[in-house]
Structure 1
C-alpha cells in the first residue's frame, strides 16, 4: 500500500504513451507531474523533496524530452513546494490549484527551453492549449489521488 502513490505517478507518466491520440501540437497534459503535484499538495509530509528526481527520470523514458530534463524540472517543483510550506502559508484547494497550475506551466516552458538546446524550437504559443488543459484537469488529478488515498488507507 506504500507504493500506491509512486505507482500512480508512474502510471500517469506512461499514460501519454498509451493513449492513441495523434496531434500536430502538444495537447496532452503532463499527467505524471500532475499526479506528483496532487499527491504532494494533498499529503505534505508523505514524500521527501528528492522524490522528484527518480520519478522525473522515469517520466523521461516516456515523454520524449532529453533524459534528465524531467528529473531536474520535477525536483525544482518539489523544492519550490517545500519552500512554500516553510513559509507557513495556509493553503486551501484553490491555492493548491493555483500552485499546481503555475508549476505545470513553468515545467512545460522549461521543457520547451531544454528541448530548444538540442533542436530548433517552435514558438512558445504552441504549448498554450497544453497549459490550459493541464490547469483545467488538475482537480481531476486531485480527485483521483484522493480516491486512491482513501483506498490505500482503508486496506
Structure 2
C-alpha cells in the first residue's frame, strides 16, 4: 500500500516555507561562492546564484515570480562585489528574454533549456565584465572558460532544483 521509498507518510512542508525554498536556494548559491576559500587571479568560480535562478526558472516557471530576479540580483551584487545594480539589470533582462522565448517556443526539452541557460550565462558574465572591468583588461579567455564551466554545471543546478522542488510538495 505504501511506495518503496516510504514517502507516503513523509510530513509535508508548510506552505510559506515551501514557497521560500526557491528563494533560499538562489540566495545560498549567491552566498556560497564568496565563502569558498580560493584566491584566483582570474574569474574561475561559477556564479552559483545565477545557475540556481536559471534552473528554477527553466524547471518550474511559477516557483519564482517574474520580478524575483531584481531582489535576488541585488543580494548577489552585495555578496559578490560586482557594481551594485549590475546583476539586478542583467538577471532581470535574462528573465524577460526567457519569458519572450517561452511565448515563442511550442515545446521545450532539456537540451533547449541547457542552450537557453548557456546563452543567459554568457550574456550575464559578458555583461558583468563590461560593467566591472575596463575594455582593455585581458580577461576574455578567463571569462570564456568561466562561461564554459558554468554552462557545464547547469545540469547539476537543475538536479538540485528538482530535488528541492520534489521535497516542497505542499498540501
Q: TM-score range by the shorter chain?
A: over 0.9
Where structure 2 has 5 or more consecutive residues not aligned to the other structure, the ranges are 1-17
Q: Does 1:95 align with 2:112?
A: yes
In structure 2, the partner of 1:65 is 82
In structure 1, the partner of 2:42 is 25
In structure 1, the partner of 2:21 is 4
In structure 1, the partner of 2:143 is 127
Alpha-carbon displacement from aligned partner over 1:114-135 (angstroms, at most 9, x marks no partner): 1136x96334222121111101
Q: Higher Cα Rg: structure 1 or 2?
A: 2
Q: Does 1:143 align with 2:153?
A: no
CA contact (8 A) 1:10 1:59 kept: yes
Alpha-carbon displacement from aligned partner over 1:16-70 (angstroms, at most 9, x marks no partner): 1111112111111110001000000001233332211110000001111100000
The Cα RMSD (Å) is 1.6
Alpha-carbon displacement from aligned partner over 1:75-105 (angstroms, at most 9, x marks no partner): 0000000000111331100110010011001
Instruction: Give the distance between the partners of 1:104 and 1:92, measured in 2 at CA.
Output: 18
**Number of residue pairs aligned between Structure 1 and Structure 2:** 154
CA contact (8 A) 1:112 1:121 kept: no
CA contact (8 A) 2:25 2:52 kept: yes
Higher mean C-alpha deviation, range 87-96 or range 27-36: 87-96
Report the TM-score when normalising by structure 1.
Answer: 0.93
Instruction: Give the distance between the partners of 2:90 and 2:131, measured in 1 at CA.
Output: 10
Q: Does 1:107 align with 2:124?
A: yes
Higher mean C-alpha deviation, range 138-147 or range 16-25: 16-25
Instruction: Give the distance between the partners of 2:115 and 2:151, measured in 1 at CA.
Output: 8
CA contact (8 A) 1:42 1:142 kept: yes
Report the TM-score when normalising by structure 2.
Answer: 0.85
